Structure 1
Amino acid sequence: MPDQTKMVTHHMGAVHPNEESFAVNATAGNLEALEASLLAEIAAASDEAAIEAVRVSALG
């Protein structure tokens, strides 16, 4: 059976000035956590450029 795990590299530098990066294992079991994390970053974004940075970090 092929591994269906997708790795999503998420860079939070635009929202968090410490330039922290982390990888999120985007399986069915934790998609809700990924969604919550991205929504929190969008909510914390101070302007359109910060929202765009979240989009680019999530989608590449």
Structure 2
Amino acid sequence: MKQFYRWILVFVFLAAALASYSAGSSTGVFMFVILGFLFECGFWLKLFPAKKKGGE
């Protein structure tokens, strides 16, 4: 179930990033572009999480 919530969160970040980029592009408000960038960072960080080292 934890994996399911992780994938849902990944798609929510992706949808939010696309919506923010679209709003920023059509309205010209740069804050939407910055918000889209932050959501995109969240998408990539959730899609490829940092691996924990087991030996340390």
TM-score using structure 1 length: 0.36
Larger strand fraction of residues: 1
TM-score using structure 2 length: 0.38
Larger helix fraction of residues: 2
- Between Structure 1 and Structure 2, whose CA radius of gyration is higher? 2
